[in-house]
Structure 1
């Protein structure tokens, strides 16, 4: 398969991977400004979500937060490419990591680890930085791209830093990796229209996957919360927490609600870096009107 734009992507990736961090962030902000009109739909969705989740804020602050989240989403494109193509020297001292010992202890026991996180704009860069500190890659669960050329380039880029990727619905590959004692980064905070329950996320009923406890049990794994944010100095704060006390509880709905509550606490630490442009509340409880039309 020949893709005419692959050399252009390679050149772009080589450059982005080596940019100084302040310049990378500035380029992301500039691109967001250039793309502001085409991002109209993303901005609309982000504003709906922010209005739903932060009703206590005055309207001008909600608008500012929604717009900042869209800017961070564009910056996240540069951070994604950096995750795949930055040389190790460029990432040196780029992160402060707390709780690495929790992950190291589980892996030393030969136990697989489900690193539970959320959809922040720099997730894959955090995974790359974790792998650099750990001395081994963490596997990632991804959504495949519909464009064959882009998917080939994306997959090759990811394989180079994370090893073989795991498709979002490839349960066999996910369980195999966990049973082999590997760390796998996983998030279940986007809209699910199957195997879900409605649990509160910022007080709004959110269709959330309830299969996570079953994945941990069948994978003979342990779940460790994996959180991260970009700080004001451009460095990344990453923390791995010990397992949630009382999780799993035996009630998959209660466990999904616990995950959403823990995630909400983390999102409140850096709300502009969460992926608010996603239709998180697209699936609605029976009888409830749609929110995004």
Structure 2
């Protein structure tokens, strides 16, 4: 009985998922305008991150980037509903995918694939579009919601399109999926307080996970970079690249730095679609003052 309030939200999400793409994007922009006064803390975090990472931009350009990033974050919530609830026919023709052969070849060898990406605002929709093109489920690693009612909805919706989800800290489940030959989308670009090293991200030391090469080795898998962006016409461009040359090396810190450098290159191509509202630089090197 206490979860009855979730049903209207789920029905609304299912309706949003079926909107024509121009209407969905316009709805997201309108919601961002209405919710702007409630986004104060997120605006502050995004402003600090953008000021740190784009010091070469003038103040006006940085403020515009913060606003565009938060608008894309709100749109991303609607794209999440599309990823979970849209029928396949509603997604047809919505994406162009480059490098799909790299993924197909690895899966044909029976290898699991760790699809390394970053926290962009439309990640789960990109995963759904990839799965539609691949003709099979692509697993996702998720952070469980603290509210059990919402978590039940979220996990049921995700499981229907991605297969069983993998908890963020559930290393055993991640390795099991990789050893079973599954493709798993994974990102390690948020603040890590364990198995980490400080490596540059936009020139700022960022606490970054160093365990990724070990996960690939233990899962007998291959790493393939997976990037994506929404184009000005509302369609999506997905790209799968071969493993970075020389990755992994014998140095996990160098491998983490390589990941951050590659991600930075992609973010610079479309910075407004990156999740700047996350406290990426929360953990600081010893002796450095907090940034937030």
Per the normalisation by structure 2, the TM-score is 0.99
CA deviations over 1:11-33 (Å, ceiling 9, x no partner): 11221111000000000001101
Task: Report the equivalent of 2:248.
Answer: 248
| Aligned positions of 1:1-293 closer than 5 A | 2-292=2-292
Shift of residue 6, structure 1, vs aligned partner: 2.2
Partner Cα distance (2:169, 2:100) in 1: 28
The DSSP-based 3-state class of the residue aligned with 1:199 is: strand
Cα shift readout 1:99-126 (whole Å, capped 9, x = no counterpart): 0000000000000000000000000000
CA separation in 2, counterparts of 1:289 and 1:10? 43
Q: Mark the runs of 5 or more structure 2 residues left unpaired by the alignment.
A: none
Aligned-residue RMSD, C-alpha: 0.7
Q: Under a length normalisation based on structure 1, what TM-score does the superposition of the two structures give?
A: 0.99
Q: What CA distance in whole angstroms lies between the structure 1 residues aligned with 2:287 and 2:213?
A: 29
Once residues 14 and 169 of structure 1 are traced to their aligned partners in structure 2, the CA distance between those partners, rounded to angstroms, is 29
In the aligned structure 2, how far is the partner of 1:10 from the partner of 1:188?
29
Cα distance in 2 for residues equivalent to 1:10 and 1:54: 38
The total of aligned residue pairs comes to: 292
What is the rounded CA distance, in whole Å, between the counterparts of 1:275 and 1:46 in structure 2? 8
Looking at structure 2, the residues matched to 285 and 17 of structure 1 have their Cα atoms a distance apart, in angstroms, of 43
Structure 1 unaligned blocks of 5 or more? none
Runs of 4+ in 1 over 6 A off after TM superposition: none
Question: What is the DSSP-based 3-state SS (H/G/I as helix, E as strand, rest coil) of the residue aligned with 1:37?
Answer: helix
Q: Hey, what's the Cα distance between the residues in 1 that align with 2:31 and 2:8?
A: 17
Q: Secondary structure at the match of 1:35?
A: helix
Q: Distance in 2 between matches of 1:250 and 1:63?
A: 41
Cα distance in 2 for residues equivalent to 1:36 and 1:44: 12
CA drift of 1:2 comes to 4.6
Equivalent-residue separation in structure 2 for 1:15 and 1:212 (angstroms): 38
Paired residue secondary structure (1:52)? helix
| Equivalent-residue separation in structure 2 for 1:10 and 1:152 (angstroms) | 11
Distance 1:14 1:281 in 2: 35
3-state SS of 2:131 partner: helix
1 CA distance for matches of 2:48 and 2:132? Answer: 37
Q: What SS does structure 2 have at the residue aligned with 1:197?
A: strand
In 2, the alpha carbon distance for the partners of 1:2 and 1:37 equals 29
